[in-house]
Amino acid sequence: MSGIASVFSILAFIGFSASMAVHLAGYAGIDRLFGVNPWPLHVGIFVVWFPAVLAAMQLSKDFPQKDIWKASLRGNPKWIQYSVYGLFCYAFLNFLVFFINGGGKNEVSTVKGFSGHWLIFYFAAFAILRSYVNVSHNDTVRRCKNKHVVEPNHVYCPQCGEIVGSQY
């Protein structure tokens, strides 16, 4: 499955890059960058998001509900994790500005409003899928100091009570 996740993570990054180009073009007043219709990017989210959800379910299955994002992104460097959170905030603010300005008055403002969401969906899919690939290659079985197998969400060994350490 990690080979398939790698392919979809590349597709998600391509979608993110294209969304970023379209979004920046929107700020420049260009509605069709290079004369290309940007709306297929709207559909492309579903192509990469379905595998990302499956990967997130696998990554977070042994973790509490409140830690789903930490568990899903744990295989990435911190800067990618923070980028996901930052892009989420940016997408929210971008949509708020879009809404306050009256929505889609023209094609440029509509594309600029929607492409902010494309950014977070594509980047989150990329981050989750990369995390899945990294965890499947590098994550080993967790053990306490006494060599007992410990679940990913446990801080203390359920058999002997020894501290396991940070799981993130």
Would you give per-residue pLDDT tens digits along the chain (168 residues)?
678 999 999 999 999 999 999 888 888 877 777 667 778 888 999 999 999 999 999 888 867 788 889 889 988 999 999 999 999 999 999 888 888 877 767 777 778 888 889 999 999 999 999 999 998 887 656 667 666 777 777 788 888 887 776 543
Question: What's the confidence (pLDDT) of residue 101?
Answer: 77
Annotate 24-36 with b (16+ C-beta within 10 A) or e (fewer). ebbeeebbebeee
The pLDDT value recorded for residue 3 is 85
Which residue from 44, 38, 11, 18 is spatially nearest to 128, judged by alpha carbons? 11
Return the SS3 of 156. Answer: strand
pLDDT, residue 167, reads: 45
Contact 130, 58 (CB under 8 A): no
pTM value? 0.79
Q: How far apart are CA 123 and CA 130, in angstroms?
A: 10
Number of H helices, E strands in the chain: 5, 0
Strand (E) or helix (H) holding 10: helix 2-27
Residue 157 burial by CB count (10 A; 0-12/13-18/19+): exposed, middle or buried?
buried
Residue 89 confidence (pLDDT): 96
